[in-house]
Homo-oligomer: A and B are copies of this chain.
Amino acid sequence: MALAGAVLDEITAVVGDRWTSTPTELDRHGQDESWHHPLPPDVVVYPRSTQEVATIVTVCHRTGVPVVPYGAGTSLEGGIGAEQGGVCIDLSQMNDISRVSIDDLDATVQAGVTRHQLNEYLNPQGNMFPVDPGAHATIGGMAATGASGTTTVRYGAMPHNVLGLTVVMADGRIVRTGGRARKTSAGYDLTRLFVGSEGTLGIITEVTLRLWPIPEAIAVATCTFLDVDGAVEVAMAVTQLALPVARMELLDKAAIEAVNKFDGMALPIAATLFLEFQGIHGAVDACAHEVRRLVTDAGGTFEWATDAEDRTRLWHARHRAYWAMLAMRPGAKGWPTDVCVPISHLAEAIRLASLDLAEVGLYAPLVGHVGDGNFHLCYVLDADDAEQFAAAEAHYERMIDRALAVGGTCTGEHGIGAGKRAFLEREHPEGIEVMRLIKAALDPLNILNPGKVV
């Protein structure tokens, strides 16, 4: 317990007994879902309102104590590790769906609302929030990391679906950005500056979101190919024709094997696209017809998942792919990569990464949001094998350098966190200086999630 008793007294004055410093809770809050080593905070606090967060941050600002916001802990780049200890602000008790307008298809929720909770609330009313990173994340965490995922090819990522934010700044000030209008040119786009800033510029406590109607028709198909190239060829054609698929997910043979085993599926062991079409009936039919033609042209099979249960099972399995891969090597640690490239370079990016992988002899199944040019090779590594980690690190570095050479990015959606700081510098050698100026302007004492991103 490195935190001064006086600070804890002030925090107690704000939240009463809604804080903990038991070692298991501290460890849990310093550890995300990836291989990153836990970096526990000194105390975990559970505020219930923006005002409580503001008061806590004011105390931390005055006393120079680091503050790390925490949603559901599902991030993958060590973004929640408390590198300098301090206060972890766990937002899970800020879970009110504060306002939903069905007429305007928007909602305002507290940061700790999870996407499942929100959709369970919305779905019976015929609406949905479509951004789907797979993980059981909070909306606040998804906003803070600029999450995307399986449906981004159709509905966009968080930057496209967040209309406004309430943010607690480093000095405890409360700032509201954006609003409820579908578009605005009112000054600098603070909303999209805070979205993706990973808790380093402010703590997001409320999010106003764009909602979508549940489409009248949903159709799902699985398509298998002789190799990954065939699947990527289809993804490229779909993108070039701007066919409005709702999801287009690639799994390689190794990923299919893992999913089959973990979820008791019996999918053919082949490079596979999971496709989803959403919209009004005629549009879904027309789109599916076109895509089917492209799949057939590329030598693939096309099979409908006809009933709702099959569809649910399929996406459930896709969402658990990461855990399925980990389960192939019990006790192993996962390290999901995240490069994203212009789509014409996708086939080569995957091919070179796979060849390289075979040479270094690592196990790393592949899943990909291929409509966006984004794919994840997931290294599954023995926790104690430093050599494997070093090999993975070197392999990843080569993969990132190839991505950067063709105009791609070191992270399509997982963010920088602690794990990619060196690569951010490589990707944006001039931009990182501008980011640092902004960080210094908005958090001059560097108390907000220190050591992350910049």
Contact = CB atoms under 8 A, between A and B. Distances in A.
Nearest to A215: B242
A424 B201 CA distance: 22
Nearest to A281: B286
A451 interface: no
Contacts of A406: 180
A203 B333 CA distance: 46
Nearest to A167: B434
A246 to B, nearest CB: 12
A416 interface: yes
Given A104-B344, A156-B160, A241-B213, A428 B187 contact: yes
Nearest to A155: B242
Contacts of A185: 145-146, 196, 338, 409, 411-416
A189 B186 contact: no
A449 interface: no
Nearest to A283: B283
B181 A340 contact: yes
A89 interface: no
Nearest to A344: B103
Given A189-B193, A424-B186, A285 B282 contact: yes
A179 interface: yes
Interface string A215-243: 10000000000000000000010011111
For A184, A185, A239, A408, which residue has the most chain B Cβ atoms within 10 angstroms? A185
Contacts of A192: 159, 189, 192-193
A244 interface: yes
A212 interface: yes
B280 A343 contact: no
A325 to B, nearest CB: 21
Interface stretch (A44-52, A299-307, A438-446): A438-446
Contacts of A190: 428, 431, 434-435
B343 A104 contact: yes
Contact of A416 (B187, B240, B413): B187
Given A187-B454, A193-B193, A430-B175, A181 B409 contact: yes
A373 interface: yes
Interface string A168-191: 010001111101111111111110
B435 A181 contact: no
A430 B174 CA distance: 7
Contacts of A148: 183
Contacts of A250: none
B343 A182 contact: yes
A137 interface: no
A289 interface: yes
Nearest to A127: B240
A183 B155 CA distance: 13
Given A188-B197, A189-B196, A196-B188, A427 B213 contact: no
A281 to B, nearest CB: 7
Contacts of A341: 180-181
Contact of A287 (B196, B280, B415, B453): B280
Name the 7 nearest CB pairs between A and B, nearest first. Answer: A282-B286, A180-B407, A441-B441, A103-B344, A184-B409, A283-B283, A104-B342
Interface of A: 101-106, 145-146, 148, 152, 156-157, 159-160, 169, 173-177, 179-190, 192-193, 195-197, 201, 212-213, 215, 236, 239-244, 279-283, 285-287, 289-290, 338, 340-345, 372-374, 403, 406-416, 420, 423-424, 427-428, 430-435, 437-438, 440-442, 453-454
Given A104-B343, A186-B411, 4 more contacts: A179-B407, A180-B408, A185-B415, A192-B192
14 contacts: A174-B430, A181-B340, A181-B372, A181-B407, A182-B340, A182-B372, A185-B412, A186-B420, A187-B453, A188-B197, A189-B196, A282-B285, A282-B289, A438-B441
